[in-house]
Chain A
Amino acid sequence: MIPEIGQFALIVALCVAITQAVVPLTGAALGVQRWVAVAVPAALAQLLFVAVAYGCLTWAFLSHDFSVLYVAKNSNSALPLIYRISGVWGSHEGSLLLWSLVLTLWSAAVALFTPGVPRVMRARVLAVMGLVSCGFLLFIIVTSNPFERLLPAAAEGSDLNPLLQDVGLAIHPPMLYLGYVGFSVAFAFSIAALISGQVDSAWARWSRPWTNVAWLFLTLGIALGSWWAYYELGWGGWWFWDPVENASFMPWLMGTALMHSLATTEKRGTFKAWTALLAIFAFALSLLGTFLVRSGVLTSVHAFASDPERGIFILGFLLLVVGGSLTLYAWRAPLLKSAAQTSVLSRDGALLLNNIFLAVVTAAILLGTLYPIAIDAMGDKISVGPPYFNLMFIGLAAPLGVLIGIGMLIRWKHDTFERLKSKLWLPALLAVILAAGLALLLPEFKLAAFVGLSMAVWILLTVISAIRERLQNRSLASALRSTPAGFYGMLLGHLGIAVFIVGITLTSLYTKEKDLRMAPGDTYSVAGYEFTFNGVRQLHVDNYVATRGSFSVHDESGNFATEMFPEKRIYLVQNNPMTEAAINAGLARDLFIALGESLDNQGAWAVRIYYKPFIRWIWLGAIIMALGGVCAASDRRYRRLARGRSPASDALEQAS
């Protein structure tokens, strides 16, 4: 009965979504206020119904209802509680339901927390989000019903994919979806602005906090995914340029460009058309990501569920949403005139350059991701691997690192070369000297390490210069009072990049890796640490049995000692072997042991040991960036504007 209620709630939600899309848009076009007023209650009602559907599916998981096909395929009575909750999004149908739930959450948030936005504008935004929601709900109901019955019911479920039985991956998809789907708000604002023809700085100001929040969730989501790949796949890597990873990285890059471009549009009233286009791109790439993952066009380690028929639906949807938006753009964008003239040597110019680089990186990743399909279309199978992506990414991202520092110190509108030079020469010189010193402290001097470190130190120093500039001719107290949170957001975001650069540079250059055959009692030394193998023992835990190896680790001076326990697990239901690496984490280095295969009857095992310096900095950098997003989104300015409806915005509403 409960699953039928869920299905019914989904159908009602679709009806509400159609109402939410059609009535306010028509009302706004014809000037009927009562139709416009439908948008907010519709968004809230839609959230209610989708939440009911979602709750029903969760209930089916919790109560082991194996008469629901999706539950039978993705759960098991031995599955621990947390994975029964996260199992809801463990596969295709449920993850789409989560997508819809997140979209309705964002819509409800827009309905509730945008009091400063004129009513007509908000109604248009909600209508666009309702349209997107229609597509997804229709997709779920028509092709991917999570409530489909399996009669007679299965006696036992075939268990959640063991790869997904992990806390990191349990929270990775919701984070990622909050980010992906969050870009729908900026997208909807952009479309609403294009429809109304009002692309002004108010529009940019309304979009900014939403874009920041979506971006910070996406940042955390990607970092979580990378962290999960690192410890769960047992490969010791943290990024694989897998098509699905690319699918999440491309919207992130576009979102980053969008944040910067929105800043320019708000401050200077320039780049309007470009900003509107970026908002469309960021969301289009989120949809494309969904398409790539869910259609099976590309095979990858993430292809947990794929089906070409569903692909046709998503492709049609993509064509409608993105094609429609770009047509609207081609028609309306020529009307968007930039308010001000800008010189190339200005912060506006630097931000434009940043946008161009980010767009080119995105295009290059898109090309690498889709190229295999193009080649396949000509009859060959190839995959584009890390060498292409690494070369392209490092080559194109390095200038961005330099640009970050310049961008923080250059002036809006117009700057002079002399002033800029006087600001920049000292940080640049210091960065090179300090980086050279640091690089010499490393176990072995490498030019690439020096370059990476100079970049990081350069960003750090320019951040300090930017703070000093704020403090100039002002007391600390008054500087603190007058500095907007957005400024701290920018500093943190850029510092995060610096930390991240240190992480990837040192990890990729100084990782030590050893594949060993170890019998009990054997000792090997890797990067100054002694690893002694103490043999293995068998364990039985919940729904798997494990072979657990034990290693004693010491450093040569005897200051550091620990035990590490890598496991080889067999998940009983699917008979799936899984490697659980043992990781000893530290700010300066990780020790990583993965247990391979048993080699003989004497207890010798294939063992892989990694020493990974500074790998934590990669995720630490992402966390700092996300904190920057929190700061920027919490800027008082957005709340001040939100408080009460100003007479000006009402006048604007009458005019539209």
Chain B
Amino acid sequence: MKMRTFIIRRLLLLIPVLIGVSIFVFMLTRIAGNPAAAYITERMTPDQIAEIEARYHLDEPLVVQYIYWLQGILHGDWGYSKVAKLPVTDAIKEFFPATFELTFTSIIIAVVIGIALGTISAVRRDTPTDHGTRVLALAGVCLPVFILALILQFTFAYQLGWFPVTGRFDDQLYNDVSFQDYRITGFLLVDTILRLDWIRFYDAVWHLVLPAICLAFGSIAIITRIMRGSMLEVVNQDYIKTARSKGLPEKVVVKKHARRNALIPTVTVIGLAFGGLLGGAVLTETIFAWPGMGQWAAAATVYNDWASILGFTLITALVYVFVNLIVDVMYAYLDPRVRLE
């Protein structure tokens, strides 16, 4: 199968999934309570209530309601977020950059460290390095992200004072200019570079370190485990023996011949790890007071702000599905056998 056909097929398969997700979220909105409740007051007569219900199509069968609801979603009407005091779509635009910055940094950290640790662990199998790495990976899988966050905050921010405890930037640095005016793209790291503002850039990086490490830890563990496993499998293959026997230096064998092939299965778990990352972001952002979508959603649950919660669910599902699509395409590119199924 050609790459283009593969991608088109994969995109077509997305349609039923996306419809399914939208039906699921729609059902949650109907379980959450009468959507017209926000417009109904105690003094209204039953006629007035009926009128409101008719205006929002709530007297129609569920299927028709769903179609109206989906129309709204497609036209950008995602409801109003009580917590953010903004329409949900605007709230997502507002909070997305912070979350993206955090998760993107984390996935980079996780991939780089995970692949390195997995390779070293496999090459030095059954040495203290290997055992140490495996213990670390085990801890990464078992330690809840919110407890790791507290440990990091307690040790490195509170006791040692190396990093700030919470937040995304130092308020004092933005005394002379409001953050709203300062932002260009909303991505703080990008904005500070665009303005060649190194002091604020360092400040942003300094604030990012602890939450990013915290969020990355679980994914590091997953990637390390898979990388180690697939390295060990690859090392026994004939082409590695061939590479060695023709006199290539060990470094070249490991880097060019073994690691490249071991990377293929690892790519698939990156998509999986990203799902964990999106979930972990809710907890990490809450603890580090990181002004992203996760913190917004967690705050929304406290105030029963359905529109925000379901908007957040919908957008994370979209992002997750999209990332997995990219991962699948990468996988098919790296391993042509996948395309032939």
Decide whether A and B assemble into one complex: no
Chain B residues within CB distance 8 Å of chain A = none
